[in-house]
Amino acid sequence: MDIDKTLFALNNLNKNTLMETLQIEFVDVGKDFVTAKMPVNSSVHQPYGLLHGGATAALAETVGSCASALFVDTKIKIVKGIELSINHLKSKKQGAVYATAKPIHKGRTTHLWEIKVVDENDQLISICKLTNIVLDKK
């Protein structure tokens, strides 16, 4: 796998999407993981000045869905998230968070991912599970 080429392709998919709005950037990819970064600033805060759980959830689903897409032939298959579970363990006011998706199960029609969201100091912010369905394109 050409890491630079894969990251370029993943980041290119973000144009004109929620991912671009949230400034999500894919920063690392490997044989069994995908990592993306999201800045934490007022654009992703809730009213108390903390990282909004919905922004964290969007980051997690983005990373897990893109991870699934890397493991299927996207010319004939499409990946859709069907369930996201997320626990927020620590708050964050500014800086950045990093989400890394690692597989729990990669079946023919469903994928289950564990996604850990950490800050710059590798402190756990949120932990997530994402289930994706893999469907034939119509």
Annotated catalytic, 61? yes
Alpha-carbon distance of 63 to 46, in angstroms, equals 22
Residues 57-98 have pLDDT tens digits of 999 999 999 999 998 999 999 999 999 999 999 999 999 999
Per-residue pLDDT, 1: 74
Are 72 and 106 in contact by the 8 Å Cβ rule? The answer is no
* Average pLDDT value for residue range 8-31: 94
| Mean pLDDT for the chain overall | 96
Q: Which of 20, 25, 61, 83 is catalytic?
A: 61
Are 42 and 19 in contact by the 8 Å Cβ rule? The answer is no
> To the nearest whole percent, how much of the chain has pLDDT over 90?
93
Coil, strand or helix: which one is 109?
Answer: coil
Residues 36-62 have pLDDT tens digits of 999 999 999 999 999 999 999 999 999
* Average pLDDT value for residue range 84-113: 98
- Structural domains of the chain, with CATH: 3-136 (3.10.129.10)
